[in-house]
């Protein structure tokens, strides 16, 4: 698809671009800005966009201050690890069982030499689709994990992206045997955009709480810029640290308490989801008498950035950090919004 871009405004030395109706601008990996055109073709912006343009330099300065505090964050992390806040021995053993190597002093994950021998042998094709855009992952961004408040729902861009994701699946002419939705509305609504087009698939849709996004505890729905400079939370995206997590849980507006988890714990949870998928596909295949089918069964999973990164790693699609041996999972290493991706093909 070819789109003609038009310059709209320049902030600092970074150029922002406008396209007719909708623009997705990628900043630091995966953040979007929406702009529209008036009846005369002149650009109009939302109040949030106006504030973003006006304060972009301030926000960039704030992020630079946080990044410059990396040494202090690392000192805090070392003290946190020594405090036995988490059971690093158990997590190291559990990741080794998955064919992964955990470097506790840095919180880094890497593929172990025996990954191929230990990886799951899936007898079905798997497509993963991250949810569409939300206000929560629009600058100034927040930690958006196991939360489902209004700002975490699909925004105008996200709703359009959900339809585009449905278009992409339609172009593939697939016939899913199972469609799994995260219970969080941003993911389920992205998936339902596709399901609503296909009455024949409605009985193949299941909502699995286990497939939801990472639980960030008290960091959830807090703006990154508002967290202390030396908070270990920043190591999650600055250093791809898979062990950091807060001690305090997230309390939802309805009073429900959700304990935090780190990325390693999410990996372990998503490994369980893959096992559950394998069992469920086996049941479906047996009931549908697919034994002699010409193609493998297909599961489509609608989820999130971190959950998707975990599944990518577990299926052998993990991305190494530039120039390093360890794996990246946040920032530029995450899946784009609302883009169906084959993570496994059985044949």
CA 237 to CA 198: how far, in whole Å? 38
131 counts as catalytic: yes
Of 74, 139, 189, 213, which one is the catalytic site residue? 213
Please identify which of the residues 74, 108, 131, 344 carries the catalytic annotation: 131
137 marked ligand binding residue: yes
Q: DSSP assignment of 31-58, as one string? A: -----EE-TTS-EE--HHHHHHHHHHHH
Q: Residue 217 corresponds to which tokens in the numbers above?
A: 């505890």
Q: 132 labelled as ligand-binding?
A: yes
Q: Is 134 annotated as a binding residue?
A: yes
Q: What is d(CA 12, CA 17) in angstroms, rounded to the nearest whole number?
A: 14
Active site residue 213: yes
Q: What is the C-alpha to C-alpha distance for residues 47 and 68, in angstroms, rounded to an integer?
A: 30
Q: Which residues pair with 108 in a beta bridge?
A: 103
Q: Is 27 exposed, middle or buried (0-12, 13-18, 19+ CB in 10 A)?
A: middle
Long-range interactions of 203-206: CB distance < 8 A, separation 24+: 204/176, 204/177, 204/178, 204/179, 205/179, 205/180, 205/181, 206/178, 206/179, 206/180, 206/181, 206/280
Residue 328 assigned ligand-binding role: no
Contact of 127 with 174, CB cutoff 8 Å: yes
Q: What is the DSSP string of 92-114?
A: HHHHHHTTEEEETTTTEEEE-TT
- Annotation-wise, does 186 bind a ligand? yes
- Which of 204, 203, 206 lies closest to 183 in space, CA to CA? 206
Q: Which two tokens stand for residue 346?
A: 């059985």
Q: Which residues have CB under 8 Å from 281's CB, separation 6+?
A: 123, 124, 177, 178, 297, 299
136 annotated to a ligand binding site: yes
What gap in Å lies between CA 281 and CA 299, rounded to an integer?
8
Binding residues: 130-137, 186
Residues annotated as part of the active site: 131, 213
Binding residues for substrate: 130-137, 186
């Amino acid at each position: 698809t070819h789109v003609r871009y038009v310059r709209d405004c320049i902030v600092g030395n970074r150029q922002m671009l406008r396209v007719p109706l909708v623009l997705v601008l990628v900043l630091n990996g995966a953040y979007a800005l929406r702009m529209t055109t008036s009846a005369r073709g002149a650009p109009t912006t939302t109040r949030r966009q106006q504030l973003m343009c006006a304060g972009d330099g301030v926000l960039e300065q704030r992020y630079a201050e946080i990044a410059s505090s990396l040494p202090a964050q690392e000192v805090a992390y070392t003290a946190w690890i020594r405090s036995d806040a988490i059971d690093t021995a158990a997590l190291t053993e559990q990741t080794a069982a998955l064919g992964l190597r955990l470097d506790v002093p840095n919180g880094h994950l890497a593929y172990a030499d025996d990954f191929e021998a230990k990886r799951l042998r899936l007898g079905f094709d798997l497509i993963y689709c991250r949810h569409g855009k939300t206000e929560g992952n629009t600058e100034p961004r927040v930690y958006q994990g196991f939360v489902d408040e209004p700002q975490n729902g699909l925004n105008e861009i996200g709703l359009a992206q959900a339809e585009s994701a449905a278009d992409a699946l339609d172009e593939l002419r697939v016939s899913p045997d199972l469609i799994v939705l995260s219970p969080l509305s941003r993911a389920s609504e992205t998936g339902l955009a596709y399901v609503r087009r296909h009455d024949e698939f409605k009985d193949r849709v299941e909502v699995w709480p286990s497939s939801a996004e990472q639980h960030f505890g008290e960091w959830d729905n807090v703006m990154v810029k508002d967290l202390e400079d030396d908070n270990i939370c920043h190591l999650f995206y600055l250093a791809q640290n898979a062990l950091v997590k807060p001690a305090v849980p997230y309390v939802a507006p309805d009073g429900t308490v959700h304990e935090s988890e780190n990325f390693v714990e999410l990996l372990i949870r998503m490994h369980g989801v893959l096992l559950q998928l394998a069992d469920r596909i086996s049941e479906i295949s047996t009931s549908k008498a697919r034994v002699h089918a010409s193609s493998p069964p297909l599961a489509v999973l609608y989820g999130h950035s971190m959950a998707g990164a975990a599944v990518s790693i577990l299926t052998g699609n993990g991305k190494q950090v530039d120039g390093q041996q360890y794996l990246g999972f946040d920032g530029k290493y995450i899946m784009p919004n609302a883009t169906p991706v084959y993570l496994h093909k059985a044949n």
